[in-house]
Chains A and B, each alone.
Chain A
Amino acid sequence: MINFSTSPDQYQHWKLSFEGAVATLRMDVAEDGGMVPGYELKLNSYDLGVDIELYDATQRLRFEHPEIKSVIITSAKDRVFCAGANIAMLGTSTHAHKVNFCKFTNETRNGIEDATSNSDQRYLCVVNGTAAGGGYELALAADHIMLIDDGASTVSLPEVPLLAVLPGTGGLTRVVDKRKVRRDHADYFCTLNEGIKGKRAVDWNLVDELVPRSKLMDKAKERAIEFSEASSRPDDQEGIVLTSLSREISKDRVNYNFISCSINREVLTAEITIHAPTKMPEQETTAIHAAGVNFWPLAFAREFDDLILHLRSNENEISTWVFKTKGSADFVAAADDALSNNADNWFVKEIILYIKRTFKRLDVSSRSIITLVEPGSCFTGTLMELVLAADRSYMLDGIFEGSNITAASLRSTAMNFGHLPMCNDLSRLETRFLNDETKIAAIKTKIGTDLDAKAAEELGLVTFIPDDIDWGDEVRIAIEERASYSGDALTGMEASLRFAGPETLETKIFGRLSAWQNWIFQRPNAVGEEGALKLFGTGKQAKFDRKRV
């Protein structure tokens, strides 16, 4: 089982240090520290285990270190920055593992950019040796790239010429979309297996500046301090320690404090129930700080994040995720109020951003999402996003016969209107009603109002509202039918329907780049017995089917 939780005292591959407002994250991958046997992590190449630590470090930098305003990513190894994803690992992994690995690494790099853009924690990358493939893609996630000017170290994206695959961790997209490298230059660069160094790297904007070896770390610190001076992060606040999650896993269950998940292997479904706060959530920043990881929105985000990662990696036959909620809608609304009323507080801001990133993770997960709105549920505000994120939703019209639980309702809060954008930069409501602002305005007038099934249907918030008599069959058939379809076709269909609206860097990475990459990952030119990815490292040469498709 792949476990996504770790902590700095367990890191094998990264060294995290702090000096004033600047943190330094040094990559020092342990060659024999691969997640599974069968490959060596030479030259700071990475596998999922290395990236799990990186993700953990970036999360802790945000929550535990409000005083950290800029982060230097560099390598602890001499003359090598990072050789990218380990090829032997990719060559021996299943297709599903490769896809999951790439998705997670993409999300982590997007998170780094989110820290720079939205948390005022700016990343700079000090490329102190060769940065190849995923190594340069890691640098591309930073806001500022410094390259050692030693006459030897290059940045490169050699995937096409060397491996017959793509720089799929955002590389191709970021080169042209983020760094605005001209497409003809980018074309040349991406077919040059030895990469580009020195002045041309700066001239083509592949890096921001060149620094001689002897001045590199001094210059990096100078830059980092310069960046930190423009940051709004506080100097005098205590960080919130991300203590380890309490999680119980058994064969068909995963339980956290506020989330429980039960797996039905016959219909390939995970039923995920999110529980509202059990008491009135803290409202003032001092109390919110004091509650720390126990503040419900943060606890929910951490548990939800971990569960998504767990299910994605360890339960890939479980094809449909069914969401339910339970508990007090008022407490959920109060938690949302606490967030939106204090959104300029650093800690609250981090929580909102984290919830945003976690819902984005849900959006790009290759699982069918069905949300069931039943009596006793609390699809309010943040949790109403689960209805909007679903491929399909069902809301019971009325109550179950013989039950004394009152009918279900939906309730929007300020959180639904811009705090939690999808990767197309639109809120889920904006994406849902793409060209119809009147519909969004109509929902906005109902902020704080409980909407019963009919009202919710009328406002376009739910797909179907069966009554008590139809409910059982409709829901069962929807789930069973889903389980009978091809997972591949569903993944493609859902990913195409979920992200209406404009393209962004992230939609291009998850849509265009990942889709092409995942196609190439299936093709004989890459993974056939004589494919480049399979043969890399053996000294043998790939044999390509030269037909263009």
Chain B
Amino acid sequence: MTTVDYSQKIPNNVNLGDDRRLQRALEAWQPAFLNWWDELGPAGSSDYEIFLRTAIDVSAKGWAHFDMVKMPDYRWGIFLGDKEENRKIGFGAHKGEDAWQEVPGEYRAELRRLIVTQGDTEPASVEQQRQLGRTCPSLYDLRSLFQVNVEEGRHLWAMVYLLHAYFGRDGREEADEMLMRHSGDEDKPRILEAFNVPTTDWLSFFMFTYFQDRDGKFQLNSLAESGFDPLSRTCNFMLTEEAHHMFVGESGVGRVVERSIQLIKEHDTLDIRQHGGIDLSTIQKWINFHFSICLDLFGQEKSTNAANFYNMGLKGRFQEMKIDDDHLLDNDIYMIPEIEGNRVIMSETGALGSINERLRNDYRDDCQRGMDRWNKMLAGAGVDFKLSLPHSAFHRNIGIFADINADVKGNIISQQEWDASINDWIPTPEDRAFVESLMVPVTEVGKVAGWIAPPARGIQGKEPNFEYVRFH
């Protein structure tokens, strides 16, 4: 066997160089991953040189190392967040016991399932976004897309590392399956439904990084509370990267709003489609769509699985350790929505059974912050329009709202009323065709498409008009 310098090829802080089991697993998996990247990663981009951030260690200096690299040469590394000595399990039936450094046998299946479900979303989003490179609004944005893509790829690695290092043969099989399921594949789709629709335009990409990646933030945060220490540490490190993805989303939508404000002022009308802008009601439709399908990702309001995961100490609540309660939830209550007759009411239920709902509410609050920021821009410019999150009952496929129709305010409505208004609430094929018609690639250094404002500043001290991507 040839000696490979693992610390160079695969930057890591998991002692990969000395771990034969892990080496063996990765040697088989890595070529499959590269094949997958080649076939289903960003289309036609393998020769581009891109100004990318690579994590080469977990120190403040090392986690964001910038360089011009080709994506297939990107060094997907394996990193765990810093180890907290004597860490204890913070919640559930094992609260106060030492955190697990190995998989506890009795929870092996549950842990594997959590890791597989989280891991599956990472390559899924790369697949969903693979065509976007062809229609970038600027080199700056193209770089952002690829940065997000390679880091989602790294997050897949992070989950695969856990499967390989802790779950033996089954873990290796699951890791292989991650590359066999594909977004939108009719035979082997991705596990979660929101990850099976392609992201076809850049407004959707910004919404995706705002809403879907924020779901990722909340899932990773709850997994970072896990009593299984390697999972906790892995997620802690992933969160540092995830923050940038949400920045791409929030600043991206913000720049679209900014450009729309300019066009509204310039032409003194909200109807700016004719002037090559995306009107605010269209942006609202995109928000309605993405937010509602993301709420589904949190699962049923009352969930046995979520309760089990909590009680077992595998998955906590968002910022579990900052919550001031007993972290057992045996006798606590929580309010969840219920449908009574023709209206949504709130009813008391056990807190343990409603972990999903709590996380969904935390997520909702976090999503609202962006709305507030964009609305401040609108108000500051004197535009009389407010962007808002639709009610949780709107356009849902999972949970108690799946069986009813509700408008964006949460009023329960008939099928007829739904059919009559749905085109006002979520993107129609015409809306999508219009937005796609704006998606003309802009790849000249320093130029930006007409439907979006240029970024306020560049990346890593570079100018906004830096040549972030070099084509060859």
A544 CB to nearest chain B CB (Å): 11
Contact present for B188 and A540 (CB under 8 Å): no
> What A residues does B353 contact at CB under 8 A?
537-539
Stretch from B13-21, B67-75, B303-311, B457-465 forming part of the interface with A:
B303-311
Contact present for A541 and B191 (CB under 8 Å): no
Those of A336-355 within 8 Å (CB) of chain B? none
Which residue on A lies nearest to B308, using beta carbons?
A539
Which residue on A lies nearest to B188, using beta carbons?
A151
Contact residue among A150, A192, A215 (Cβ-Cβ distance under 8 Å from B189):
A150
Contacts known (A194-B109, A194-B112); A539 close to B188, Cβ less than 8 A: no
Contact present for A150 and B311 (CB under 8 Å): no
Contact string against A for B residues 172-202, beta-carbon threshold 8 Å, 1 for contact and 0 otherwise: 0000010011000011110100000000000
Contact string against B for A residues 148-191, beta-carbon threshold 8 Å, 1 for contact and 0 otherwise: 01111000000001000000000000000000000000000000
Contact present for A214 and B93 (CB under 8 Å): no
Which residue on A lies nearest to B186, using beta carbons?
A214
Contact residue among B113, B187, B355 (Cβ-Cβ distance under 8 Å from A150):
B187
Contacts known (A536-B304, A537-B304, A539-B304); A149 close to B352, Cβ less than 8 A: no
Which residue on B lies nearest to A156, using beta carbons?
B109
Contact residue among B113, B177, B191, B310 (Cβ-Cβ distance under 8 Å from A539):
B310
Contact present for A192 and B177 (CB under 8 Å): no
Contact residue among A194, A212, A541 (Cβ-Cβ distance under 8 Å from B113):
A194
A194 to B350, CA, bound (A): 26
> What A residues does B311 contact at CB under 8 A?
539-541
> What B residues does A212 contact at CB under 8 A?
187-188
A193 CB to nearest chain B CB (Å): 5
A429 to B187, CA, bound (A): 54
Contact present for A149 and B307 (CB under 8 Å): no
A122 to B390, CA, bound (A): 51
Contact present for B187 and A214 (CB under 8 Å): yes
A541 to B107, CA, bound (A): 12
- Residue B160, interface by CB 8 Å: no
- Residue B56, interface by CB 8 Å: no
Name the residue among A150, A193, A214 with the largest chain B CB count within 10 angstroms: A150
Which residue on A lies nearest to B329, using beta carbons?
A539
Number of interface residues of B (CB under 8 A): 26
Contact residue among B109, B187, B191, B304 (Cβ-Cβ distance under 8 Å from A149):
B187
- Residue B338, interface by CB 8 Å: no
> What B residues does A215 contact at CB under 8 A?
187
B338 CB to nearest chain A CB (Å): 12
Contact string against A for B residues 353-367, beta-carbon threshold 8 Å, 1 for contact and 0 otherwise: 101000000000000
- Residue A360, interface by CB 8 Å: no
A215 to B300, CA, bound (A): 30
> What B residues does A161 contact at CB under 8 A?
109
A197 CB to nearest chain B CB (Å): 9
- Residue B312, interface by CB 8 Å: yes
- Residue B326, interface by CB 8 Å: no
Contact residue among A42, A193, A194, A213 (Cβ-Cβ distance under 8 Å from B187):
A213
> What B residues does A540 contact at CB under 8 A?
93, 307, 311, 330, 352
A176 to B177, CA, bound (A): 29
Contact present for B191 and A152 (CB under 8 Å): yes
Contact present for A150 and B188 (CB under 8 Å): yes
Contact present for A193 and B109 (CB under 8 Å): yes
Contact present for A541 and B304 (CB under 8 Å): no
Contact string against B for A residues 18-46, beta-carbon threshold 8 Å, 1 for contact and 0 otherwise: 00000000000000000000000010000
Contact present for A538 and B187 (CB under 8 Å): no
Contact string against A for B residues 340-355, beta-carbon threshold 8 Å, 1 for contact and 0 otherwise: 0000000000101101
> What B residues does A151 contact at CB under 8 A?
177, 180-181, 188
> What B residues does A537 contact at CB under 8 A?
304, 307, 353
A538 to B303, CA, bound (A): 9
Contact residue among A152, A192, A536, A539 (Cβ-Cβ distance under 8 Å from B352):
A539
A151 to B119, CA, bound (A): 14
A151 to B173, CA, bound (A): 10
B241 CB to nearest chain A CB (Å): 27
Which residue on B lies nearest to A537, using beta carbons?
B304
Which residue on B lies nearest to A216, using beta carbons?
B187
Contact string against B for A residues 55-82, beta-carbon threshold 8 Å, 1 for contact and 0 otherwise: 0000000000000000000000000000
A238 to B141, CA, bound (A): 70
Contacts known (A192-B109, A193-B109, A536-B304); A541 close to B188, Cβ less than 8 A: no
A360 to B352, CA, bound (A): 46
A194 to B304, CA, bound (A): 15
Name the residue among B187, B191, B311 with the largest chain A CB count within 10 angstroms: B187
A209 CB to nearest chain B CB (Å): 15
> What B residues does A536 contact at CB under 8 A?
304
> What A residues does B300 contact at CB under 8 A?
42
Contact present for A541 and B330 (CB under 8 Å): no
B138 CB to nearest chain A CB (Å): 37
B23 CB to nearest chain A CB (Å): 25
B274 CB to nearest chain A CB (Å): 41
A213 to B188, CA, bound (A): 7
Which residue on B lies nearest to A199, using beta carbons?
B173
Contact string against A for B residues 93-106, beta-carbon threshold 8 Å, 1 for contact and 0 otherwise: 10000000000000
Which residue on A lies nearest to B352, using beta carbons?
A539
Contact present for A152 and B181 (CB under 8 Å): yes
Contact present for A541 and B352 (CB under 8 Å): no
Name the residue among B304, B310, B312 with the largest chain A CB count within 10 angstroms: B304
A42 to B398, CA, bound (A): 12
Those of B73-125 within 8 Å (CB) of chain A? 93, 109, 112-113
> What B residues does A538 contact at CB under 8 A?
304, 307, 350, 352-353
A541 to B106, CA, bound (A): 11
Which residue on A lies nearest to B106, using beta carbons?
A161
A539 to B91, CA, bound (A): 12
Which residue on A lies nearest to B176, using beta carbons?
A151
> What B residues does A42 contact at CB under 8 A?
300
Contact string against B for A residues 514-549, beta-carbon threshold 8 Å, 1 for contact and 0 otherwise: 000000000000000000000011111100000000
> What A residues does B113 contact at CB under 8 A?
194
A533 CB to nearest chain B CB (Å): 13
Contact string against A for B residues 151-184, beta-carbon threshold 8 Å, 1 for contact and 0 otherwise: 0000000000000000000000000010011000
A538 to B329, CA, bound (A): 11
Contact present for A539 and B307 (CB under 8 Å): yes
Which residue on B lies nearest to A197, using beta carbons?
B177
Which residue on A lies nearest to B328, using beta carbons?
A540
> What A residues does B93 contact at CB under 8 A?
540-541
Which residue on B lies nearest to A40, using beta carbons?
B302
A537 to B350, CA, bound (A): 11
Those of B290-341 within 8 Å (CB) of chain A? 300, 304, 306-308, 310-312, 329-330
A213 to B184, CA, bound (A): 12
Which residue on A lies nearest to B181, using beta carbons?
A151
> What A residues does B330 contact at CB under 8 A?
540
Contact present for A541 and B312 (CB under 8 Å): yes
A215 to B353, CA, bound (A): 38
Contact string against B for A residues 193-204, beta-carbon threshold 8 Å, 1 for contact and 0 otherwise: 110000000000
Contact string against A for B residues 381-420, beta-carbon threshold 8 Å, 1 for contact and 0 otherwise: 0000000000000000000000000000000000000000
Those of A80-125 within 8 Å (CB) of chain B? none
A42 to B312, CA, bound (A): 23
Which residue on A lies nearest to B120, using beta carbons?
A152
Additional 6 contacts, C-beta under 8 A, given A537-B353, A538-B304, A540-B330? A149-B188, A192-B109, A193-B109, A539-B304, A540-B93, A541-B311
In the complex, 28 of the A-B residue pairs with CB atoms within 8 angstroms, ordered by the A residue number, are A42-B300, A149-B187, A149-B188, A150-B181, A150-B188, A150-B189, A151-B181, A151-B188, A152-B181, A193-B109, A194-B113, A212-B187, A212-B188, A213-B187, A213-B189, A536-B304, A537-B304, A537-B307, A537-B353, A538-B350, A538-B352, A538-B353, A539-B308, A539-B310, A539-B311, A539-B352, A539-B355, A540-B93
Enumerate the 8 nearest inter-chain pairs by beta-carbon distance, A residue then B residue, closest first: A539-B307, A212-B187, A539-B352, A537-B304, A539-B311, A151-B188, A213-B187, A214-B186
Please report A residues at the B interface, Cβ cutoff 8 Å.
42, 149-152, 161, 192-194, 212-215, 536-541
